[in-house]
Amino acid sequence: MSGGLSQHARDFHAFELSRWQRVVDRYHRSWGELTGSAGSGLLDAIGVPPGTRLLDIATGPGYVAGAASRRGAAAVGVDFSAQMIAKARLLFPDVDFREGDALDLPFADGAFDRAVMNFGLLHLGDPGRAIREAFRVLAPGGAFGFTVWASPDEAVGFSLLSDAIMEFGEPVALPEGPDFYHYSEPDNCRAALADAGFAETGAEVLHLDWRLESVDELFPAYRQATVRTGALLDGQSDADREKIEQRVRETAARFSDGTGRLVIPMPAIAVWGRR
């Protein structure tokens, strides 16, 4: 792990790593199609012509690196979870994946033309440091882009759960991490990029839907395929957790497409800046 971090950041780093190691396959099944779609939108936003040297930071199961490789980029994916890297190598065997820390990237200055991070920023103890590291590994004129979720008012998959937890749940002590919705405001994203040295910043909304085969898949996706949310649900009493799940099922019913499948609005924000 990177040096120079606060104890809070170190604790959060250890917490995130330990949980991600356990949820790889469930994450892929529950969230992979949705987050992969966001990653493709991010590549469209920053532009990835053939031959681009691209680094996918916090690559997870490798969706964005894989998509970039299909576009002709020389893509490298890096993640701190050995289990995630193993999954990425299985899914995209022709892409170069390596273990590494987003806060201390194992690459030389100016090694890439593009760097991307798809929903990784909120899983880091020091998001600003990660953005500065992305700036460092880019060549002059290179671009960095990242995605974050829109506010829960818009990304309804989050408000479905948070409203139920507010109604029936109890506080759970978790390691302190970044404000989950700070970067849902595009101006905050652009300011963070500018602070790291990026210019020509921009942002756009990616209009995405989370598609699930049935309401039965929804609560397990929250509890078994996420980190902070899963830990929060694990910390509830059995009785409270059952109430939360029941409320989620009730409120999610309005997103049924008439066949039993769910189509839940989950817009994201793609943000970018140029070095």
The rounded mean pLDDT for the chain is: 96
Sign of the CA dihedral with 36 first, then 38, 41, and 46 last: negative
In a domain, 78, yes or no: yes
Q: Is residue 102 part of a domain?
A: yes
pLDDT digits (tens, 9 = 90+) for 106-133: 999 999 999 999 999 999 999 999 999 9
Is residue 239 in a domain? no
Domain annotation covers residue 182 = yes
64-83 mean pLDDT: 98
Helices 82-91, 63-70: crossing angle, 10 deg rounding: 30
Q: Does residue 219 belong to any structural domain of this protein?
A: no
Residue 196 lies inside a defined structural domain of this protein? yes
In the chain, the number of structural domains is: 1
pTM of whole model > 0.85?
yes
Q: What is the dihedral sign for C-alpha 23, 212, 205, 153?
A: negative
Q: pLDDT category, 242, cuts 50, 70, 90?
A: very high
Query: Is residue 2 scored above 90 in pLDDT?
Result: no
How confident is the model at residue 31, as a pLDDT? 98
Alpha helices (H) along the chain: 7-20, 24-46, 63-70, 82-91, 127-137, 156-168, 186-195, 218-224, 228-234, 238-252
Does 53 map to a domain?
A: yes
pLDDT reported for residue 1: 53
pLDDT for 5 beyond 90: no
Q: How many angstroms separate the CA atoms of 146 and 129, rounded?
A: 14
Of 80, 236, 266, nearest to 165 (Cα)? 236
Give the domain extent around 110: 7-151+177-210+267-274
Does residue 11 fall inside a structural domain?
yes
Rg (CA), the chain: 18
| CATH number for 206 | 3.40.50.150
pLDDT in tens, 27-51: 999 999 999 999 999 999 999 999 9
